[in-house]
Amino acid sequence: MQKCRTAALGGHLDVCTDCGASRPSYNSCRNRHCPKCQGLTAQQWIEAREQRVLPVGHFHVVFTVPSEPHPLMAFRRKELFGALFAAASQSLQQLARSELGATLGITAILHTWTRELRFHPHVHCIVTAGGLSLDRQRWVSRNDFLFHVGALGALLRGKMMDAIRRLHREGRFESFDDFNDPEGFDRLMRRLAKHKWVVYSKKPFATTDHLFRYLGRYTHRVGIANSRLLDVDDEQVTFRTKDERTTTVSPVEFLTRLVQHVLPPGFVKIRHYGLYSGAHVHDSLPRAHELLPADPVRARAGAQQYYELLLALVGRDVRLCPACGGEVVLQPLPSSRQPAARSPP
């Protein structure tokens, strides 16, 4: 991330064929935690989802873990982040079956931070306002109210506690310091049982256009954007938090907060369930589309080249010279990380 878009990663020269102007364009690091590399990735992801999203309203439901299990989740990130995904999606689908007799479409995104970069795991779920009936004969609408958030919170708590108990039986927490005390595990479970687990639900988006703009802000977001960094020097880092407030910390503290949001290698932070899952993409999802009105957004969606996406994202055509508007050709630049040429014998 530190070397992103610097000479260390190599790149190319943008050379105008008309006026001869040239400037270097360095390669990105493509790290999914890098704030500079997610804009184009998000647009490409949204374009791919346009062909699948259903032309209905979508609720935004957030499942939040209370502070008590945060140290344990930081200790076993992969297992407990996965458990949080499962608990959130299963809670939604369980109520959908019992209250609607239907299957929902769910896209879930994991975030682990607050605006101050504190550790705060939570899952954002974009949920269809209704679902395909279990007999696949009709669409069951749910436009104004999805499910009671208290019921969702109780289900989330029960499913997460079951997952924690299972992992404890499997010995996955053996070296967790808080459980060196023989009463440590039981004490934590009693606290979790008494605590209210918060679920937030927001009214559905009116159109799929609005949904895609909203998704673009959430799917590939990282802990902090460059725009929030206000001042950086050898002694301190100042960044914007919530409601235009700011926080100032030492560089070491800033990096400590930032790296705790680096996900385990290979961990998938965007997952799809129900109608949006891979298991239903060739049967139940097309059936739901048949039962719903045609969506103009989906109808006009089509594959776009990277330069078209960048034009929509930043308003600049990278194929044209910014000085005169002439055509730009690319000439490769060497990477400073490439091995030195071997000297002749």
Answer whether residue 236 is part of any domain. Answer: yes
Q: What pLDDT score does 202 carry?
A: 85
Beta bridge partners of 130: 141
> How many domains does the chain fold into?
3
pLDDT tens series, the chain, 345 aa:
677 777 777 777 788 877 877 777 777 766 666 766 655 566 666 666 677 889 888 899 999 999 999 999 999 999 999 999 999 999 999 999 999 999 999 999 999 999 999 999 999 999 999 999 999 999 999 888 899 999 999 999 999 999 999 999 999 999 999 999 999 999 999 999 998 899 999 876 666 666 666 666 666 667 888 888 999 999 999 999 988 899 999 999 999 999 999 899 889 999 999 999 989 989 999 999 999 987 655 544 455 555 555 555 555 666 778 778 777 777 777 655 444 444 444
In sequence order, the 6+-apart residues with CB closer than 8 A to the CB of 227 are none
Q: What pLDDT score does 212 carry?
A: 63
- Say if residue 134 is in the same domain as residue 248: no
Answer whether residue 14 is part of any domain. Answer: yes
Q: What pLDDT score does 21 carry?
A: 76
- Say if residue 115 is in the same domain as residue 133: yes
- Say if residue 75 is in the same domain as residue 125: yes
3-state secondary structure of 62: strand
Going by the DSSP 8-state scheme, the letter that residue 153 receives in this structure is H
Q: What pLDDT score does 338 carry?
A: 46
Q: What is the pTM of this model?
A: 0.78
57 touches 204 (CB < 8 A)? yes
Instruction: Give me the domain span that covers residue 252.
Output: 227-260
- Say if residue 88 is in the same domain as residue 115: yes
Instruction: For residues 91 and 149, give the distance between their C-alpha atoms in angstroms, rounded to a whole number.
Output: 11
Distances (CA, A) of 277 to 49, 94, 105: 12, 16, 8
Answer whether residue 344 is part of any domain. Answer: no
Answer whether residue 131 is part of any domain. Answer: yes
- Say if residue 208 is in the same domain as residue 83: yes
- Say if residue 144 is in the same domain as residue 283: yes
In sequence order, the 6+-apart residues with CB closer than 8 A to the CB of 53 are 105, 208, 211, 212, 276, 295, 297, 298
Distances (CA, A) of 140 to 34, 38, 174, 232: 40, 36, 47, 53
Single-letter code of the amino acid located at 205: F
